[in-house]
A and B are shown apart, each in its own frame.
Chain A
């Protein structure tokens, strides 16, 4: 794995390896001294063209726990707001010696372009691009699901296990959601069954090609007893005419697709509730649901750090064994990565 651009980049073995590595990382985070020397001397740039607090902090924490140097570059207050292009920003960061670039961008495909246009030699990690992909979110969701649905909430060893047989309902604004796209692909890779639940206006034309079922009725889907319900954030402005007029009113949305106490009670006992955050309490999820014992939303955040540590580790030190030894000062590094580049399968067709 040279970049992580899309959940579709991960095969079953790779996906399980990331989750297993994340579990090892999580174990180290229970220690008093949380910092590992693994990426000492390496530089990770957080390149955020779009507002994000939790994802940026999560990546920053992950990189720092691995002893990498972290540069945070946000569009606000930078030369990007003066009209500097993605290309020039990337060339600047390349000149500063970035080993990995964690990018969030409002344009779908921007991380792909960054990885393939020759503007940077570092590994590119997609931290969310437009309506396209958010692969580390899907990985942390899968990690959380595995821990609960397979590992009995941390009581059983889940190393090497996937999500075969699990049924996950993904509910909300699928059309605009990179989280949904990444989750559909990764959950499928891990053997889970996915049902997308949304009003028809918030399901993309072309969804029939996705490895997922589609329902317009949340109660019907909950009645089938899914193992997990993943609620997606719904932006209130989508209801306005300028926002696309996707639904008549927030109240009508909540009535049909909001997760409240009544719907929560329909779930099987073992089922968990996820949300990528930030939540709109009272719109797609009620306080009852968000704060219930079966909500694992806060745990998702903690797992996000472990998963991002695993991703950075595998991308930047993937050639090493998982002993946590420091790869700092490796001089053959550049040569190694040049060799790996020839393995890329995605091309500019």
Chain B
């Protein structure tokens, strides 16, 4: 394996130093890193982060290979600086058995661009009725620890209670898509001033907040841990803040798009802005930024949701929910949180690597940048600016809400256990010079 010497890199945005990657680990930092024969990566001015970990990726395989495959999705992940992604369970067939999660896990391992950790469905077929064989998935080769019916809410309080209790046996976590189904029947966008004017059925904030409130109380009652996916409203931030103050073992996620975009964008009826939960108001965006900065929200998860063109090239009501995000997430976080002075690069490492790795119980990811640690690393150029061109991305789909927009920051290199998956901003095939 190639030995890489990163010269002048700034770990977590700190003082520049040299970092040597050898034998899959960080071999040396500082003066003793200079080693003859190493492949030199000029990292002057670049920020070195632990490899990013996404708890919320839709890779679509098996079933919707027209939208994304494990191969294409993990290429996108590597280009976005990720060294591990959690593949959501809403595939076809559903990832609700040991067989299917092992299939996805193997596809990820064979692709080799980043670690793929399948998420197991909480209920059979995401139907919300009865528990899937969670233990079998946990004890499979895929070693599932995160369980979610994402895309659907585990709305039955008894099923949710049982799931929270059951996963304690193998230190799992239930990741809830908080959406009260009756309050959101036919919902098309955030319910408020804009939906009233546009005549689109509203998705009220309370439909998210009510489920989160119920779930934190259930988690407290049964002494389990809960992860709240794509929290999107100011009220949700308040509930999670309250729950944490009470000592409840809850973690929460926000997506890049909810950190940046509002429901005002729906006025053009462009389905690229159709997503679930929907884009909220400017006040909500401010609240989730505040919540992420103060630690109420633990992670940024992409909710990368690729869709084929025909599912977005239509009238709003007929369009699918979802946006791509793997290749823009870090830039959006930089724009929303770092460039605004709300967070440091160390904070970015916490919310995009350390915390998601901890929640997913990953051992080799989200580690400190220190000698002897696995060399899962990302080099980012914070001074670069780029215009998002979905057609040039690695993801098979083009439904990016940031298309045509200029964003700060660029992933220059990504290392997976010492192997460069990305160098100079381009993918490096396995068996190549790196």
Contacts and interface: CB of A to CB of B under 8 A. Distances in A.
Given A107-B315, A116-B268, A210-B197, 17 more contacts: A85-B314, A86-B314, A107-B316, A108-B188, A109-B269, A117-B313, A130-B199, A130-B200, A131-B201, A132-B198, A132-B200, A205-B202, A206-B192, A206-B193, A208-B193, A210-B196, A347-B268
A181 B197 contact: yes
A112 B195 contact: no
A108 B310 contact: no
B284 interface: no
Contacts of B316: 107-110, 113
Interface string A113-125: 1001100000000
Interface residues of B, number: 27
A112 B268 contact: yes
A64 interface: no
Contacts of B204: 205
A312 B199 CA distance: 25
- Residue among B188, B194, B202, B315 with the most chain A CB within 10 A? B315
Contacts of B71: none
A346 interface: yes
Interface in A97-112: 105-110, 112
A132 B199 contact: yes
B210 interface: no
A227 interface: no
A347 B265 CA distance: 10
Nearest to A110: B315
A129 interface: yes
Contacts of A298: none
Contact of B265 (A105, A109, A210, A349): A349
B335 to A, nearest CB: 17
A178 to B, nearest CB: 6
Interface in A132-166: 132-133
Contacts of B317: 106-110, 130
Contacts of B198: 108-109, 132
A348 interface: yes
B267 interface: yes
Contacts of A178: 199
A106 B318 CA distance: 11
A207 interface: yes
Contacts of A265: none
A347 B268 CA distance: 6
6 contacts: A85-B318, A108-B316, A109-B200, A110-B316, A117-B313, A206-B197
B171 interface: no
A204 interface: yes
Interface residues of A, number: 31
Interface of A: 85-87, 105-110, 112-113, 116-117, 129-133, 178, 181, 204-210, 346-349
Given A107-B317, A107-B318, A130-B317, A348 B197 contact: no
A132 B194 CA distance: 11
B120 to A, nearest CB: 34
B270 interface: yes
B264 interface: yes
B199 A133 contact: yes
B18 interface: no
A116 B315 CA distance: 11
Contacts of A109: 198-200, 269, 315-317
A348 B268 contact: yes
B362 to A, nearest CB: 39
Contacts of B269: 108-109, 112-113
Interface in B146-192: 188, 191-192
- Residue among B194, B198, B314 with the most chain A CB within 10 A? B198
Nearest to B268: A348
Q: Please list the 6 inter-chain residue pairs (A to B) with the smallest Cβ-Cβ separation, ordered nearest first.
A: A206-B196, A132-B199, A109-B269, A131-B199, A107-B317, A204-B196
Interface string B210-234: 0000000000000000000000000
A129 B315 CA distance: 11
A206 B314 contact: no
Nearest to B202: A205
A291 B288 CA distance: 56
A106 B194 CA distance: 19
Interface string B281-323: 0000000000000000000000000000010011111100000
A129 B191 contact: no
